Amino acid sequence: MHLQTNGVVMKFKGLTALDGVDIDISKGEIVGLIGPNGSGKTTLLNVISGVFVPNSGRFRMGDREWSSVSLREAACLGIRRTFQNIRLFPSFTVLETVEVAAAWLDRGDRRENALRALDELNFRQHCGRIASELSYGMQRRLEIARAIAGKLEFLLIDEPTAGLNHAESQELVEVIQAIRERRGCGIVLIDHDLHVIMNVCDRVIVLAEGKVIACGTPQEVRRDPLVINAYLGS
């Protein structure tokens, strides 16, 4: 199964943040999404996951096609995400945080889905802890646990290693790879750390000024003169 965008345009007042974006992600692959600051990476995740309604363009997953969805509809389709800036309910416990997400999707047993997601991140022993009292690195992992509770076809992850040290980043990368292995989902990974992207991703998509300027294996993208000019050179 594929998740595709076709000609997606997203404008904010005078600014065109996405300028006709076509991408195609298969289930089972990890695709890196890179580009300079302000190139539209987060906005692309926002339109795919139903945070914003784009000005134009279409989306397709399997035999479904749409021009806009709500955040909840996207989640129910199995399109799940994390946020660049952590968004947790501060006073909820770890288990409550993940259970709420599982309940929101209204499918299956919410407790069972929440515990399964927490087990996947080796988090079960922290079930009773309060979200806001966790370390920053653990909050990042909790966000991922919340995003994988229940149905998961495609996981969109926005800068998961921001603010983490090298060891914590490495651990998170292993968590992401394990999710792909276990669930067979497709993953779109935005990260500033090019070592992370180049090591983990099967393919890389490069955005600049709201347009896809390159797409290929990490080796291909690294050699692409457009990419070197727009991104790696700077």
* 82 lies in the site for Mg ion, by CB under 5 A: no
Asked whether position 42 contacts Mg ion by CB under 5 A, the answer is: yes
Burial class (CB in 10 A: 0-12, 13-18, 19+), 194: middle
Q: Which stretch, 6-14, 33-41, 75-83, 138-146, contacts Mg ion (CB under 5 A)?
A: 33-41
Task: Let me know: does 85 contact 133? Beta carbons within 8 Å.
Answer: no
Residue 111's closest CA among 96, 128, 130?
Answer: 96
Q: Is 5 in the site for Mg ion (CB under 5 A)?
A: no
- Asked whether position 46 contacts Mg ion by CB under 5 A, the answer is no
Shortest Å, Cβ 35 to ligand ADP? 6
Q: Which is nearer to ligand ADP, 19 or 29 (CB)?
A: 19
Q: To the nearest whole angstrom, how small is the minimum distance from the Cβ of residue 80 to ligand ADP?
A: 18
Residue bearing tokens 């890179």: 34
Residue 230's φ and ψ, nearest 5 degrees, are -80, -25
Q: Which is nearer to Mg ion, 33 or 149 (CB)?
A: 33
Residue nearest to Mg ion according to CB distances in the complex: 42
User: Based on the number of CB atoms within 10 Å of its own CB, is 109 exposed (0-12), middle (13-18) or buried (19 or more)?
Assistant: exposed
Integer Cα distance of 72 and 18 in angstroms: 22
Q: How many residues bind Mg ion (CB under 5 A)?
A: 3
Least separation in angstroms between residue 210's CB and Mg ion is 13
Which positions lie near ligand ADP, rule CB under 6 A? 12, 15, 17, 35, 37-43
Task: Report what 169 binds from Mg ion, ligand ADP, none; CB cut-off 5-8 Å by kind.
Answer: none
With CB under 5 to 8 Å by kind, the binding choice for 216 among Mg ion, ligand ADP, none is none
55 token code pair = 């000005």
Q: Near Mg ion by CB under 5 A, which window of 13-21, 82-90, 140-148, 218-226?
A: 82-90
Q: 172 to each of 125, 191, 196, 212, 213, how far by Cα in Å? A: 18, 12, 10, 27, 28
Q: Least distance to ligand ADP from the beta carbon of 189, Å?
A: 13
What's the CA gap between 1 and 4, in Å, rounded? 10
CB of 44 to ligand ADP, least distance (A): 7
Among Mg ion, ligand ADP, none, residue 15 binds (CB under 5-8 Å by kind): ligand ADP
How far is residue 59's CA from residue 30's CA, in Å, rounded to a whole number? 19
The interface partner of residue 85, options being ligand ADP, Mg ion, none and the CB cut-off 5 to 8 Å by kind, is: none
Distance CA 88, CA 66 (A): 29
For the CB of residue 77, give the shortest distance to ligand ADP in the complex, in Å: 22
